[in-house]
Amino acid sequence: MSQKYILGIFSDEVPVLDAVRALRASGNAIHEVYSPFPIHGLDDAMGLKRSRLPKAAFLFGTAGLSLAVLMQAWMLGFDWPMNIGGKPALAWPDFVPVSFEITVLLTALGMVATYLYACGFFPGATPKQPDLRVTNDKFCIAIKSEGADQAAVEAVLRQHGAEEVKVEEVEL
Amino acid sequence: MYESPLRRPLITGKTSYAKITDDIVTPIEAAPTKWWYLGFAISVAALGLWLLAVGYLLFTGVGVWGLNKTVDWGWDITNFVWWVGIGHAGTLISAVLLLFRQKWRTAVNRSAEAMTIFAVICAGTYPLLHAGRPWVIYWVFPLPNTYGSLWANFNSPLLWDVFAISTYFTVSLVFWYVGLIPDLATIRDRAKGLRKTIYNALSFGWNGSAKAWQRFETVSLILAGLATPLVLSVHTIVSMDFATSVIPGWHTTIFPPYFVAGAVFSGFAMVLTLLIIMRKVMRLEEYITIYHIDVMNKIILVTGSIVGSAYITEFFMAWYSAVPFERYAFMNRMFGPYWWAYWAMMTCNVITPQLFWSQKIRRNITAVFIISIFVNIGMWFERFVIIVTSLHRDYLPSSWAMYSPTWVEISMFIGSLGLFFTLFFLFAKFLPVIAIAEVKSIVKTSAEQEIAKTAEAEGIDLKEVHPQIA
C-alpha cells in the first residue's frame, strides 16, 4: 500500500547518521533509511532492534545436528547393524564428519531462507525503494508524512546537508 | 571510522561511489570485447572435447581409462583433488578474512568465490564418473532403500566426502549469492527493458533499506563463521580418503593439515593466475592493486612453506618409522620410475614459492603470474605423486604395474579446464566481478583520496610513507 513519505536524499553517509540522530532527537520517527552499502552505527542511531537471525540459525543448527546424529545411529546401529570385524555398530567417532556437515548445511540453508522470508525477498519481487539511485551513490531517509511537521523535518534534513527533499507517495 | 594513513590504500586513484558502480557495471552493459569472444570460444571448444570424451566413456565404460588392477586411481582422482584444492581460496577469502576484518578481501572475494564454485563443479564430475554408473549416483545418499535394508555406510571416508563436497558446494553457492543480491539490484536499477526484467528477477526485490542491510550483515557474519570450519573440513575429509587406508605413503596422520595447506596454496595460485589477467583485461587496476597481489603472495609463501615442511616431515617419518614398506614407498617416489613427477612437484611447490620472500618479486606482475602457474602445475603433480606412485608398487611385487593416461583421461582434463573457463567467462560477462557494495563500504577508510586527506590533517608526508602511489 502506498503512502506519503518525506524523502531526504544525501550523497554521503556521514551526514545521514547526523540527520537521523537529529530527527529522532526532535521526536520524528524514522520510517527507513536506504543506502548503497551498510552504514555502521546506523542501527543504533535509528534505534533498530538487533536481528533475531542468529537465534534462527542456532535452532536450525540444533535441528541439523540432532537429525544427523539420530539418522546415522538409527540406520547403522539399530535398523541394519553390520558386523565389520566385530567392531561396534554404533561407531560414534565415525559419525562426527557427516554430523558436522549436515549441521552446517541445515544452519546455512535455514538461516538464509529465514533472511529472505523476513525481508520479503523472492525471485522477481518488486523492490520497495524510494529512489533508484539508492543502489548506486545516494542515501535516502524516509519519514512518514502523516503526523509529521513537514517544514520542520525538511529544515533538519537540509541543515544536515540533504541535497534534495521531496514528498512522494510511494510503497515502502 | 578513523584509519591510520600508514595503512596502504586499497582503492587507488580518484574515486566516488558513482565511479565504482560505473567501473564495475559498465562491462556488463557493454557488448563483449573480441578478447572475450576469443577466450569464450576456446573454452567452449575444450568443453566440447569434454562432452565427446565423457560421452565415449559413458557408452563404453571406465575401461577406456588407463587404470589397471594395481593403479585403480589415476588422473580421475588426481584431477578431483586438484580441483577441490583450487576451490579452497574463494571461501577462505570471503569467510576467514571476513572474520579477521581484512578489508583487502572486498576487491577479490567475488571472483575468488565464483572460481571456488566452478572448481568444485569440475571436481564433482570426477567421482561422479569414476563411480561408473552416474545415473545411479543417488545411491550415495541415505535414501529409504527399496532394494534391501542396507543403508549407506557412514563409517566410510568416501561417504564423508560426498557430504563434505556437496555441503561445501551448497554453502559456498548460497554465501556467494547472498552477497550478489545487492549488486544485482545495482545493475537492475540502471537497466532498461529485458535486462531490467532479468536482473529484477535475480535481485529478489533488494531495496537497500537499513533493516535489510542489518540482516544482510548478520547473515554474512554467521555464514562466514560456518564456512570457516567448513572450508577446513573439506580437504581434511578428502585427505582421509587416503589417510584411513593401509597403503604406504597414504597412511599418515599428517595428511589433514598438509592437504588443507596445500589446498589454500593452490587456490591462491589459481586466484592470482585469473585475477592478474582479469584486472588487466577489465581495467580493474584501481581495485585489485599491487598491494592486493602482494598480500596474496604472502599467503602463498606461508602455505607453500607449510607444504614444503610437510614433504620433509613425511620423509623423516618414513625413515623414523622403520617400516620397510613405508621407507620403500618414499624412496620409490624420489628415485623410482615416476621420479620426474616427484621432482616436478618439489621444484614447483617447495622452491618457487620461496622466491616470494623478496618484495620485488611479490610486486612484479609477470613474475607472480609465472610463479602462480608453476604452483598450479606443482600441486597437480603433488596429487599425481601421492596417488599413482603410492599405488603402482604395492605389497606384492608380482602385481607391480605402470600407469599412463589414455586420450580419454587427457581430454577429460583439458575439457574440465574448458568447463571451468566457460563458466568463468560467463560470470565475468554477466555478473559483477567485484563486490560493488563492499568496495563502497571501505572508501571512507581505505581509498587513496581519503588517506591523503588524513595524512594532510596529521602532517604526515604521504610520499614518504607510500612512495609507490605518491
Q: Do B207 and A38 touch (CB under 8 A)?
A: no
How many angstroms away from the CA of A48 is the closest CA of chain B? 8
Domain limits of chain B?
31-134+158-434
Say if residues B245 and B388 touch (Cβ distance below 8 Å).
no
Looking at residue B35, the DSSP 8-state letter turns out to be H
User: Minimal Cα–Cα distance from A109 to chain B, Å?
Assistant: 8
Which residue type does B356 have? F
Q: In chain B, what percentage of residues exceed pLDDT 70?
A: 98
Q: Do A57 and B222 touch (CB under 8 A)?
A: yes
Say which residues have a Cβ less than 8 Å from residue B433's Cβ, sequence separation at least 6. Answer: B24, B27, B110, B111, B114, B278, B282, B284, B427
- Say yes or no to pLDDT of B1 above 90: no
Cross-chain residue pair B163–A122, CB shorter than 8 Å: no
How distant is the alpha carbon of residue B292 from its chain centre? 17
Question: Is A37–B212 a contact, with Cβ atoms under 8 angstroms apart?
Answer: no
Judge whether residue B239 has pLDDT over 60: yes
Question: Any bridge partners for residue A144, and if so which?
Answer: A5
* Interchain contact B1–A (C-beta under 8 A): yes
A3 strand-pairing partners: A170
**Would you tell me which residues 308-347 of chain B have a C-beta closer than 8 angstroms to some C-beta of chain A?**
none
Q: Residue B13 above 60 pLDDT?
A: yes
Residues B317-324, mean pLDDT to the nearest whole number? 92
Under DSSP, the state recorded for B288 is: S
Residue B266 main-chain phi, psi, to 5 deg: -70, -35
Residue boundaries of the structural domains of chain A:
3-50+128-170, 53-119
- pLDDT bucket at B213, cuts 50 / 70 / 90: very high
- What band does B140 get if pLDDT is binned at 50, 70 and 90? confident
Fold of B31-134+158-434: Formate dehydrogenase/DMSO reductase fold (1.20.1630)
* Alpha-carbon gap, residue B244 to B252, rounded angstroms: 8
SS3 state of residue B199: helix
Asked which of A65-74, B24-33, B142-151, B363-372 is least confident by mean pLDDT, the reply is: B142-151
pLDDT of B469 reads 63
pLDDT tens digit sequence for B265-280: 999 999 999 999 998 8
Which cell numbers in the block locate residue B163? 557430504
- Kindly list the residues from chain B whose CB atom is less than 8 angstroms away from the CB atom of residue A77: none
Question: What is the C-alpha to C-alpha distance for residues B313 and B253, in angstroms, rounded to an integer?
Answer: 11
Q: What is the pLDDT of residue B148?
A: 61
Is B239 within 8 Å of chain A by CB?
A: no
B202, B213, B223: best mutation site toward chain A, by most A Cβ within 10 Å? B213
Write down the number of H helices and E strands in chain B. 21, 0
Kindly give the confidence (pLDDT) of every residue in chain A, 172 residues in length, as a single tens digit, with 9 standing for 90 and above.
Answer: 688 899 999 998 889 999 999 998 888 889 999 999 999 889 998 989 999 999 999 999 999 999 999 999 999 998 888 888 898 989 899 999 999 999 999 999 999 999 999 999 999 898 999 888 999 999 999 998 888 888 888 888 999 888 989 888 888 8
Cβ B171–A108 below 8 Å, yes or no?
Answer: yes
pLDDT at position B174 over 70: yes
CB contact under 8 A, A120 and B150: no
Q: Which residues of B53-87 are buried (b: 16+ CB within 10 A; e: fewer)?
A: bbeebeeeebebbbbeeebebbbbbbbbbbbbbbb
Which one of 3.30.70, 3.40.50, 2.60.40, 1.10.3470 gives the CATH number of domain A3-50+128-170? Answer: 3.30.70
Q: Touching check for B244 and chain A: CB below 8 Å?
A: no
Q: A82 phi and psi, to 5 degrees? A: -110, 140
**Local structure of A143: helix, strand or coil:** strand
* Other beta carbons within 10 Å of A99: 23
Residue of A nearest to B19 (CA): A137
pLDDT of B470 strictly over 60: no
Q: What is the pLDDT of residues B54-92, one digit of tens each?
A: 999 999 999 999 999 999 999 999 999 999 999 988 888
Which cell is B160 given?
Answer: 564423508
How big is the A-B interface in CB pairs under 8 Å?
Answer: 188
Nearest by Cα to B160 from B260, B242, B79, B261: B242
pLDDT in tens, B326-348: 999 999 999 999 999 999 999 99
Q: Tell me if B279 sits within 8 A of B230, measured CB to CB.
A: no
Taking CB atoms within 8 Å and a gap of at least 24, the contacts of B143-150 are B149/A79, B149/A80, B150/A80, B150/A82
- For the four alpha carbons of B386, B387, B389 and B394, in that order, the dihedral sign comes to positive
Euclidean distance between CA atoms A148 and B271, whole angstroms: 53
* Per-residue pLDDT at B377 exceeds 60: yes
Does A102 contact B223 at a Cβ distance shorter than 8 Å?
no
Per the DSSP assignment, residues forming a β-bridge with A8 are: A141, A165
Q: Which residues of chain A neighbour B436 with C-beta distances below 8 Å?
A: 36
Instruction: Tell me what the pLDDT averaged over chain B comes to.
Output: 90
What is the residue type of B5? P
In angstroms, the CA A97 to CA B164 distance is 8
**What is residue B149's predicted lDDT score, i.e. its pLDDT?**
67
Q: Decide if B206 and A71 are in contact by the 8 Å CB cutoff.
A: no
B198 touches chain A (CB under 8 A): no
The dihedral sign for the CA sequence B375, B377, B378, B382? positive
Q: Please name the residue of chain B whose CA is at the shortest distance from the CA of residue A122.
A: B204
Residue type present at position A162: A
- Please state the rounded mean pLDDT for residues B428-449: 89
pLDDT of amino acid B152: 86
Residues A44-61: pLDDT tens digits? Answer: 989 899 999 999 999 999
Q: In this complex, do A101 and B160 lie within 8 Å of one another by their Cβ atoms?
A: yes
